Structure 1
């Protein structure tokens, strides 16, 4: 691993894959992590990076992944997702556990494990991809919004705790991005997932990846605390202009 190294979690598709490509184009050696190692391997071959299996919900997997990386300059906490869309009264505890394990504890595991190497780099950067769900609640989404609020607070707390250390922190909070997100949320129901983006022009993964690339290319003294980005057709989590 020659030059500056970036680590991207959840890199087998969507925002993670697009981010890996963007950072590789900027000259980073990109280490991509996710559970779908076949996809990761193809991606790593295309961008000249390194593919390592990673399950952010598993302590041993995170430890093995992080031990294999000698130095890190950029960490992109992208692994996450939603399960279900139900009111609190009908909450599925298994879905809540998955969301908290993936979004919150996954981010904690990766950040804690790689923080010493980010500090040692002399110019570290942690980018955490949260969501506009980290900014406000919406009906039937408490499992996801609570997890994203917690993930965001974890990230924002580090901003103060690392003050004076050579590590910058940026939170990127996207609105509607058309990726596999809704397919995962609705357990593979393509019709229901498609309805999320019906009548609007959503963001795409490359839109978020470009923001990560912009943040990573700023000088060491510049910290961009938070970027909130939504489609023009979206004003909040539940407010859209739909054309049909």
Structure 2
């Protein structure tokens, strides 16, 4: 056994000597053991971890142009409030006409009337100060000015009829038993004589209105095609054209139906 111990000791000595031979210095004194007693392991310094930055807190800003709330106990009576509550007050006063309900309804009604008066006064002020908004400049209230405007309108209407007579004609739909159709015929004759407006008289029943001696044609379905409901009916036809086979190339503009035609 002693032989084995000596052999193991000799092996350690050889390994130690070889290791020191590689470093270039062989230590066989007691200082070699002191190196292990004072040994400090090499440590890699840890990376410095910075604490996460806290996002800046958003300081709430007061809203711009915020209207101050009305004092406690007061209610602003504006249009929105009235639109919501006035019908309720009115209904409550009608269903249960107590003194309190009627007073609440009448006070609310007074507020409505006061607002309406102030609005109308401001409205008239704006209209009277702006000539483009003042209807008195378009149709004067004074009798002299009103008559002048009516005369100008009448001459303009006559010129418009002349221009229409140059580009089209009238289609008058009548029937023999219609008294208003008989009253319409002299007007159509006046348009022909004064403005050159051509007129084609179409009779629904094929009969001429009372007193009418001019030409007429019997309706061939045009009354239903134009969805007319009353007679007489007056229709303007711009640039009348003849039928192309069974195709009607004309455009029909209904002017009036019935008594006011």
User: Fold conserved (TM > 0.5)?
Assistant: no
User: Larger relative CO (CA 8 A, sep 6+): 1 or 2?
Assistant: 1
Larger % of helix: which? 2
TM-score by length of 2: 0.24
Larger % of strand: which? 1
Larger Rg: 2
